[in-house]
Chains A and B, each alone.
Chain A
């Protein structure tokens, strides 16, 4: 009984603490992700208040958190939106990849990481946080702006590219020779294609079984299926996260929408556990030495994302101020940089502190720059409903 008492108490205090942090973050339309990471740092090894009893729960919760993060990413996915984005913004997405992955590649090489680590760092600097950014655009009332479709198109294509990138990364990170990696890559791409085909051709059967009219049944079925598939994926060393992503891709239409709604609270809880666990794993003493590298990467990441957004918005015929707004909107990195780091973490332990510091910086500074960019850019117009 004693241990369970400690667990309940610690967990309760942690959740209340996170809610306070989250409320503060929302108040200034920040992302709570960096605050959760900081909380993890403070509570973990070498932190100010270790929590031995809740630690075990957080570790278990973290692995469910990754699964749910990737499942909801897959659920967000809509083939029509992807093809629409592909039609207009393939060059923008290519520029996004080249400009933003390069700093990570160079930094990884300079830090002397093994090459799966280099690839992971490149991925972490490449992918913007679609979660943070779409929320931010809503909060800042920018969804109606003309540059917003370009921003969202880039996010959709990045998320789609994750479907190829994550399996490849996992195979490479699990070690093995060139040919094993190559076979793994082929298997990964084949399974993503198979998931797409399956969702296209037999999706309605899967949907029919999963789409129980009762919300509780829906939640249990989707969650259960996802965990089983995730476990099977882990068994054939494709990583649970990728398995969950594939389940998310298979679900479409109204079922996906309802599943998103019923899973959202669960995802929030377990994703919080995931970010805490990342914080636990990094000790604050490791973070300081990683700070110069992370700051340099963050600075490069700000500039390259601004260039990406500038280019994409220009393709849509947006004026310079809108181009800058698009560029600044893309800066935030978040949950997926962390997921990428956790998938490759085993091969290169140096990666953890760098990526954590990098995300801490950009998940905080990114939204701030986005927010301030409107004010810098149009000082003459007061916010509100003034007519022109």
Chain B
């Protein structure tokens, strides 16, 4: 998806994208931490139609509802404290050799040093999964490790 980012000097940032229905959606992220969600009419793309506003806490909740990326972000906050450590997400493709097999079979940590700290499956999050947890196609794995380690896990899972 193509997200356009526009700087609003003194105010914050505006993100813009077109959804599958062809609606042009904008999100204004204010420096103070609150958000405004808007939509652009097809007949006048310059004028925003305000949809709703969110406080910081509301935006956090909405982001949690909307799903997995926030979880990786939270790990990212954590990993910022340790130089060299980062967090990434790996989607299990339908064609993966590991889909339908237990997590332990990947031997991801032994081979790459990176750890799979959570599995996001639809609306569920399996935190610190055990080696016997079975992976499904479409699962999102939250991985913590070095950049090379995360890429290694991606290669293993996508193989």
Residues of A within 8 A of B (CB): 76, 78, 80-82, 84-85, 130, 134, 137-138, 141-149, 152-153, 155-156, 257, 318-319, 321-322, 325, 374, 378, 381, 385-386, 388
Which chain A residues lie closer than 8 Å to B41 at the CB level? 381, 388
Which chain B residues lie closer than 8 Å to A144 at the CB level? 14, 26, 28, 36, 38, 40, 48, 50
Which chain B residues lie closer than 8 Å to A325 at the CB level? 47
Contact pick for A142, options B30, B44, B48, CB 8 Å = B48
Question: B30-73 interface mask toward A, CB cutoff 8 Å, 1 = contact, 0 = none?
Answer: 11000010101111111111110000000000000000000000
Tell me whether A152 and B44 are in contact (CB under 8 A).
no
The chain B residue sitting closest to A148, CB to CB, is: B8
Tell me whether A149 and B46 are in contact (CB under 8 A).
no
B6 on the A face (CB < 8 A): yes
Which chain B residues lie closer than 8 Å to A145 at the CB level? 46-48
B10 on the A face (CB < 8 A): yes
Which chain B residues lie closer than 8 Å to A386 at the CB level? 49
Tell me whether A319 and B46 are in contact (CB under 8 A).
yes
Which chain B residues lie closer than 8 Å to A156 at the CB level? 9-10
The chain B residue sitting closest to A380, CB to CB, is: B43
A108 to B66, CA, bound (A): 59
Chain B nearest Cβ from A289, distance in angstroms: 37
Listed from nearest, the 6 A-B pairs whose CB atoms lie closest are A144-B48, A322-B46, A144-B38, A141-B50, A81-B9, A156-B9
Chain A nearest Cβ from B9, distance in angstroms: 4
Which chain A residues lie closer than 8 Å to B51 at the CB level? 385
Which chain A residues lie closer than 8 Å to B43 at the CB level? 388
The chain B residue sitting closest to A153, CB to CB, is: B9
A364 to B12, CA, bound (A): 27
Tell me whether A81 and B10 are in contact (CB under 8 A).
yes
Chain B nearest Cβ from A29, distance in angstroms: 14
Q: List 17 A-B contacts (CB under 8 A).
A: A81-B9, A134-B11, A137-B11, A138-B30, A142-B48, A143-B14, A143-B30, A144-B14, A144-B28, A144-B50, A146-B47, A146-B48, A148-B11, A149-B7, A155-B9, A322-B47, A374-B47
Contact pick for B7, options A84, A147, A319, CB 8 Å = A84
- Which of A85, A141, A143, A144: most chain B Cβ within 10 A? A144
Tell me whether A257 and B28 are in contact (CB under 8 A).
no
Residues of B within 8 A of A (CB): 6-11, 14, 26, 28, 30-31, 36, 38, 40-51
A153 to B8, CA, bound (A): 8
Which chain A residues lie closer than 8 Å to B36 at the CB level? 141, 143-144
Contact pick for B46, options A318, A385, A388, CB 8 Å = A318
Chain A nearest Cβ from B25, distance in angstroms: 10
Chain A nearest Cβ from B18, distance in angstroms: 14
The chain B residue sitting closest to A261, CB to CB, is: B32
Contact pick for B9, options A152, A378, A381, CB 8 Å = A152
Which chain B residues lie closer than 8 Å to A146 at the CB level? 45-48
Tell me whether A155 and B50 are in contact (CB under 8 A).
no
A343 to B10, CA, bound (A): 25
Tell me whether B10 and A130 are in contact (CB under 8 A).
yes
- Which of B8, B45, B47, B51: most chain A Cβ within 10 A? B47
Chain A nearest Cβ from B4, distance in angstroms: 11
Which chain B residues lie closer than 8 Å to A388 at the CB level? 41-43
Which chain A residues lie closer than 8 Å to B10 at the CB level? 76, 78, 81, 130, 134, 152, 155-156
Chain A nearest Cβ from B38, distance in angstroms: 4
- Which of A143, A149, A152: most chain B Cβ within 10 A? A143
Given contacts A141-B36, A144-B36, A147-B46, A152 and B31 within 8 Å (CB-CB): no
Apart from A144-B40, A145-B48, A146-B45, what 18 extra A-B contacts exist at CB < 8 Å?
A78-B9, A84-B7, A134-B11, A137-B11, A138-B11, A141-B36, A143-B14, A149-B8, A149-B9, A149-B14, A152-B8, A152-B9, A155-B10, A321-B44, A322-B46, A378-B47, A388-B41, A388-B42
A75 to B147, CA, bound (A): 36
Chain A nearest Cβ from B56, distance in angstroms: 13
Which chain B residues lie closer than 8 Å to A134 at the CB level? 10-11
A188 to B8, CA, bound (A): 29
Chain B nearest Cβ from A264, distance in angstroms: 11
Which chain A residues lie closer than 8 Å to B28 at the CB level? 143-144
Chain A nearest Cβ from B36, distance in angstroms: 6
The chain A residue sitting closest to B41, CB to CB, is: A388
Tell me whether B44 and A319 are in contact (CB under 8 A).
yes
The chain B residue sitting closest to A388, CB to CB, is: B41
A325 to B48, CA, bound (A): 12
A148 to B38, CA, bound (A): 14
The chain B residue sitting closest to A381, CB to CB, is: B41
A381 to B14, CA, bound (A): 24
A374 to B9, CA, bound (A): 22
